[in-house]
Structure 1
Amino acid sequence: MTDVLLLVFLFLIAGVIAVPIASRLGLGSVLGYLIAGIVLSPILTLLHVDVLSIQHFAEFGVVMMLFLVGLELEPKLLWDTRMQLLGLGGLQVTLSAALIAGGGIAFGLSWQMSLAIGLIFALSSTAIVLQTLSEKGLMKSDGGQAGFSVLLFQDIAVIPMLAFLPLLAMSGTSDTASGSHDASLSLVQGLEGWQTGLVTLLAIGLVIAGGTYLTRPAFRFIAQANLREIFIAAALTFVIGTALLMTLVGLSAALGTFLAGVVLANSEYKHELESDIDPFRGLLLGLFFMTVGAAIDFNLLASEPLVIIGLAFGVMAIKAAVLLSLARTFGIGDEQGWLFGIALAQAGEFGFVLISFATATSVLPDSIAPRLTLVVTLSMMLTPLLFILYDRMILPRYRFAEPAKADTITAPSRIIIAGHGRFGGIINRMLLSQGHETTVLDHSSAQLEVLRAFGVRAFYGDATRPDLLKAAGLETATVLVIAIDNRHQATELVRYVTQNYPHVHITARARDQNHVYELWSAGCRDVIRETFDSAVRAGRSVYEALGVPADQAERLTQEFEVHNRRTLRELADLHDPAIPPHQNAAYLKRARELMDEQSEQLRTRGGTVADQEPASGS
């Protein structure tokens, strides 16, 4: 018992320390878990821990991940993204796998082993790419949307890969014994080929029929007990039972749970299942990645550094070349094409799963697996550096250069809207409803196609580029609305326009209070906080729910809003970007004074909300 507790403590403390640090450094949670495993490796060796046995247990986290992936695959989403999903995603996986497999054959490997390696390296890291794109505000860009479609296809492609890999082992490529993942119990052992196929089809049919017709009444009955732990137990029972059934008929457990997830994608219990399964998935996946890190053979890296590093760079170069070619073919131009190519150039976390599975099913020999694991890990660790390269070397080249496919703006208007998302789109509709002509600039071609279909004058381009702004008519414009997602670019755009076109009135969207200060210091005096007005309205509703009369709640809300705006303008002059607000003595002193002043003012004029009786029926 003590040994088990010590082992659990070691893995938990390593993850708790390493993952937040890695996330703060921009490396992502997957690399954090890998680093934690690397640090634990000598301790586990000292304790004589069988890392591979723990890894086989932790692989169930992958099974749960694929169940959740299946839950997210709604038919409508697949249909809406079918062109990029099948075109970009299918070609990326096929071409990357083929080229890498060709390289393996050129180095003397059998075609079966080469194809398996090609499939392993064709996948990218969903965790690292999506997290990085989200942090940088690039998910809605053309490159980000294309990358998401490819990652979605890759997640789906893992399922047929898991089903296909054992067929390569049947071709006699193995130099190991039978896979360790074979079930000790089997429903197809000793059956004829047609009988095995029939049993397999019946098992798949049972999963589909059960998920469609049995789960809803079963979950409804369990939900009536109103005990969350019982519902969690039922969700785990469903996932584990499906995985067990697939294993008994000789199929991958991941294939079965993925199929079950797809069947339940439109169920009313979908979100509850996600929230119940996700914590187990996260912990087991973290444990899996830590065991991968602990199993890395650094003696091998030290003995063959040029081979391992060369393979890592070679794989990334091949994938980047394929991605850049596809970007050009599908019209993803300039910096967005580079973003697409760089973001997905690494190998991914599913590579660890496929390496483990291919080794267990005798597709790959044990001598090759450690080298492949090192290549996958190294390529993932290089990904943050590639994004830094993109930000500092590639993006500046295109920001101030005329794009090859830039739209020509023939009739500029007095109102320019930079960014047509959920914020800029509302402003544009308000202006159009009153007969004003606007010029919309956005870097999402998909968004622009929709706008043009509705007759909106929208043009493709990066609104931070001076030449595009000039072409849009900034020299004669009256108003510039800045509603782009990237806060740094928004601030720099404000600074550029106020310095070069002081006659233009700028209305800028701010993400938060610190962004307000940044925009204010850059020269903008019409800053709109994107959540402030809705939060104030919600606060007024809370006043009324606490028994404050509607007219008094409205007056208190207006006074709060006026005082808050005045406070913000005053504090903006004291804000120093080089000093964090909590370390800026002058800022803190004045902020406290203004808060006390506001509280006293509201209490004096209307009494406190705490004195009111809660309203009934609010």
Structure 2
Amino acid sequence: MFADLLIILACSLLVIALFRRLRLPPVLGYLCVGLIVGPTSMNWVHQSQDLPRLAELGVVFLLFTLGLEFSLARMLALRRTVFGLGSLQVLVCGAVLGGCLALFGLPLLTAVLLGLGLALSSTAIVGKELNSLGEIFSSHGQNAIGVLLFQDLVAVLLLTLVPAFAGTAGEQWYWALPITLSKTVLLFFGLLLASRWLLPRLFREVAEAHSPELFVMLALVIVLLTAWLTHLLGLSMALGAFLAGMLLGESHYRHQIEADIRPFRDILLGLFFVSVGMLIDLHLFVDQGWLILAATLGLLALKALLVSVLVRLRGENGETAWRTGLALAQAGEFFFALVALMRHTHLLDEQVGSLLLAAAFCSMALTPLLMRAAPSLASWLNRGPGRQTQIEEIANSSAQLSGHVVICGYGRVGQSIARFLQREQVVFVALDDDPVRVEEASAGKDNVHFGDSRRRDLLQAVGIERARLLVVAVDNADAALSIVEQVRHQCEHLPILVRTRDDSRLAELQAAGATEVVPEVLESSLMLASHALLLLGIGEQQVQAHMDEVRSSRYRLLHGFYHGGQTNLLESQGKPRQLLHAVSLSNGAHACGQNLSRLDLETLGVEVQAIRRAGAQLEASENPCLQEGDAVVLSGPLHAIEACESRLLGGRD
């Protein structure tokens, strides 16, 4: 087991790094790792009982973190989606797919069970992609999550009913069905009581102890205990984890819990995708490649069409319908378990099962790419004679605008800017990907449209070429960078103002073409510092001069900070954090007696903030000669600071 894990993690490290460079989804990388190391390829890793169990915990952690995003109130609001759209999707897709399989000569019972299995989608892939794309709370994202929750319940029922249909279980299906539903209701109310009375007290005690490891330990215990209890009841561990996360989603600790769980979730979820890739026989692609391709494309097209029709019948717009259909078009990880069980109970021929598994795997592998291309595909599919697409509607409403302001992201910051623009009677148009926010803002007569601001066609529709200013106020640094790059390619001279949380992506945004970048944390620090200086009696003009100097130097004075014992040295995106570090020059240090410029420290990736000597501060711009006892204050990522310290003290890089 240890050697298998080492091989999988080492291969994943190389493949995922390559996929990041190629800007391909990590899920595809993990699936490729499974194909490479599996028994039908390199045969480096053999299937064991331990690996699938460990990998299944990845789905458990994913569903738990998704549950944290959905409070009980939000889930109650989604009940029509979960039980209405969810049940229709399973029944309609199951009937059509089962009918198609029956036409190819499979026995009716086998065809119906396989049709229902293929009707279910991949919770792991769709959940992870929606999360990474920031589309969890979009209309199609909520549709997909609601349907996936109902599918998890159906998956449990199917696994319970297959032995009963095969005659190998001790009870009939009409007894198994109500028993499983009763267990689900019992689990829900048990977790509801625990979340109301027990868990808040536990988290309060742990929070008061100010111990990060205790908090992480409690979060892990809750996830694993919930999964174990659900498993004892014969239900899906992932479903139980989602219910636990959902009930904890109303607590004050949900953001901290999610941050603590994320590293475990991502690694274990990667193992899950690797284990799925290992199930596929590569020889099948050589022998029956065209048949697998036809089955894959048929499955994707049929499910996408059926789901989009069902969503459209509920009264939602065509683009949302198609994006929901494309998100749910693939087969799910549950289908692998269903086929294995049906083989074991002699309900399915092994050759047919292998062919269906290969098609299901291909549909899952294509899903990340499909979801990234979904905006363009949905717009194209939604076109028709006499029908306006969402893009055309936005373009028509913005056709008369010129010299206006475009705001990308209509959260608190975007709305604050809009209020000042309204006061000055400056026309603006805003884009946001939260459907509830767009609906509320539209009701208040604000000119706000729903959509992903990274889409070039959407930016063109709001008249970006005719705009006087672009304000990027999205709460995601990667999205902000993508928007700036898109707009700068279209409009070379348009001023672009970007809001960020901190200065971690400042240089990237400026290099991409941002005119001004305003980090919230640094601006709030400036405001506090200015008020402190004013309260100390320093003149208002002098204080304003200090503030102007810091802003004109792109916040150089505020770059980095002294890290503590509990500081995470990586940003949320995995990039090194900008730190502040002081190097004291001892007797015999290499830098003593040398001018600062001769050391050329900036080439190592740091900024020299100041040199402190005998209680006084020397500016780096003055190029002082360094002496024993000086403290050189550096700002930069950890690896660059370590390299600078080696050069200052020992003359080595």
TM-score normalised over the length of structure 1: 0.69
Segment drifting more, 25-34 vs 485-494: 485-494
Q: Which residue of 2 aligns with 1:416?
A: 404
Q: Which residue of 2 aligns with 1:209?
A: 193
Residues 110 and 173 in structure 1, CA contact (< 8 A), matched pair in contact too: no
Residues 342 and 386 in structure 1, CA contact (< 8 A), matched pair in contact too: yes
In the aligned structure 1, how far is the partner of 2:381 from the partner of 2:194? 56
TM-fit CA distance, 1:463: 8.5
Within 5 Å, give how 1:87-166 maps onto structure 2. Answer: 91-125=88-122, 128=125, 139=135, 145-166=138-159
TM-fit CA distance, 1:317: 0.9
Q: Which residue of 2 aligns with 1:456?
A: 446
The residue identity in structure 1 corresponding to 2:359 is: V
| Inter-CA distance 559–127: structure 2 relative to 1 (3 Å threshold) | farther
- Give 5+ residue unaligned stretches, structure 1: 180-190, 500-504, 521-526, 567-588, 613-618
Residues 92 and 323 in structure 1, CA contact (< 8 A), matched pair in contact too: yes
The alignment status of 1:528 with 2:516, answered yes or no, reads yes
- Name the SS for the 1:418 alignment partner: strand
The residue identity in structure 1 corresponding to 2:17 is: P
- Name the SS for the 1:51 alignment partner: coil
| Inter-CA distance 43–157: structure 2 relative to 1 (3 Å threshold) | same
TM-fit CA distance, 1:602: 8.5
In the aligned structure 2, how far is the partner of 1:259 from the partner of 1:465? 37
The residue identity in structure 1 corresponding to 2:362 is: L
Deviations 1:137-164 (A, max 9, x none): 7739xxx823311331144124312331
1:319 to 295, 303, 308: 303
Deviations 1:311-331 (A, max 9, x none): 111111112223443565567
The residue identity in structure 2 corresponding to 1:429 is: R
TM-fit CA distance, 1:14: 2.2
Residues 510 and 516 in structure 1, CA contact (< 8 A), matched pair in contact too: no
- Name the SS for the 1:345 alignment partner: coil
Residues 86 and 148 in structure 2, CA contact (< 8 A), matched pair in contact too: no
- Give 5+ residue unaligned stretches, structure 2: 501-505, 557-599, 612-616, 625-629, 634-653
1:63 to 53, 60, 65: 60
TM-fit CA distance, 1:110: 4.0
1:33 to 30, 34, 39: 30
Segment drifting more, 372-381 vs 41-50: 41-50
In the aligned structure 2, how far is the partner of 1:169 from the partner of 1:465? 48
In the aligned structure 1, how far is the partner of 2:255 from the partner of 2:134? 26
- Name the SS for the 1:59 alignment partner: helix
In the aligned structure 2, how far is the partner of 1:269 from the partner of 1:483? 29
The residue identity in structure 2 corresponding to 1:95 is: V
| Inter-CA distance 597–393: structure 2 relative to 1 (3 Å threshold) | same
TM-fit CA distance, 1:550: 8.2
In the aligned structure 2, how far is the partner of 1:241 from the partner of 1:217? 17
Residues 166 and 358 in structure 1, CA contact (< 8 A), matched pair in contact too: no
In the aligned structure 1, how far is the partner of 2:270 from the partner of 2:127? 17
Deviations 1:563-584 (A, max 9, x none): 3399xxxxxxxxxxxxxxxxxx
2:11 to 4, 11, 14: 14
Please tell me the root mean square deviation across aligned C-alpha atoms, in Å. Answer: 5.4
Deviations 1:89-116 (A, max 9, x none): 5554443333222222222334443344
1:561 to 551, 555, 562: 551
Q: Which residue of 1 aligns with 2:429?
A: 440
TM-fit CA distance, 1:341: 4.5
Residues 28 and 128 in structure 1, CA contact (< 8 A), matched pair in contact too: no
Deviations 1:383-430 (A, max 9, x none): 45546866888879999x994461654995665233452354332211
Deviations 1:329-377 (A, max 9, x none): 5676676665555454333445546656776788766655433332222
TM-score normalised over the length of structure 2: 0.66
1:287 to 271, 289, 304: 271
| Inter-CA distance 431–79: structure 2 relative to 1 (3 Å threshold) | farther
Residues 129 and 343 in structure 1, CA contact (< 8 A), matched pair in contact too: yes
The residue identity in structure 2 corresponding to 1:96 is: C
Q: Which residue of 2 aligns with 1:188?
A: none
Segment drifting more, 207-216 vs 311-320: 207-216
In the aligned structure 2, how far is the partner of 1:308 from the partner of 1:454? 52
- Name the SS for the 1:299 alignment partner: helix
Q: Which residue of 1 aligns with 2:619?
A: 603
- Name the SS for the 2:619 alignment partner: helix
TM-fit CA distance, 1:378: 1.1
Question: What is the aligned residue count?
Answer: 553
Segment drifting more, 244-253 vs 148-157: 244-253
The residue identity in structure 1 corresponding to 2:296 is: A
Deviations 1:198-225 (A, max 9, x none): 8997676555434443334455556666
The residue identity in structure 2 corresponding to 1:290 is: V
In the aligned structure 2, how far is the partner of 1:314 from the partner of 1:377? 14
1:310 to 280, 294, 298: 294
| Inter-CA distance 201–46: structure 2 relative to 1 (3 Å threshold) | closer
Deviations 1:449-494 (A, max 9, x none): 3223213345689895798567x9x87x8x4545486656655556
The residue identity in structure 2 corresponding to 1:322 is: L
Q: Which residue of 2 aligns with 1:571?
A: none
In the aligned structure 1, how far is the partner of 2:482 from the partner of 2:211? 47
Residues 68 and 261 in structure 1, CA contact (< 8 A), matched pair in contact too: yes
Q: Which residue of 2 aligns with 1:266?
A: 250
In the aligned structure 1, how far is the partner of 2:40 from the partner of 2:158? 34
Segment drifting more, 444-453 vs 595-604: 595-604
Residues 163 and 169 in structure 2, CA contact (< 8 A), matched pair in contact too: no
TM-fit CA distance, 1:17: 2.2
TM-fit CA distance, 1:431: 1.7
Residues 7 and 44 in structure 2, CA contact (< 8 A), matched pair in contact too: no
| Inter-CA distance 536–7: structure 2 relative to 1 (3 Å threshold) | same
TM-fit CA distance, 1:272: 4.8
TM-fit CA distance, 1:120: 3.5
**Which structure features the higher share of helix residues?**
1
| Inter-CA distance 123–50: structure 2 relative to 1 (3 Å threshold) | closer
The residue identity in structure 2 corresponding to 1:147 is: H
| Inter-CA distance 95–272: structure 2 relative to 1 (3 Å threshold) | same
The alignment status of 1:371 with 2:340, answered yes or no, reads no
Within 5 Å, give how 1:171-210 maps onto structure 2. Answer: 171-173=164-166, 206-210=190-194
Segment drifting more, 332-341 vs 165-174: 332-341
Q: Which residue of 2 aligns with 1:347?
A: 331
In the aligned structure 2, how far is the partner of 1:132 from the partner of 1:194? 34
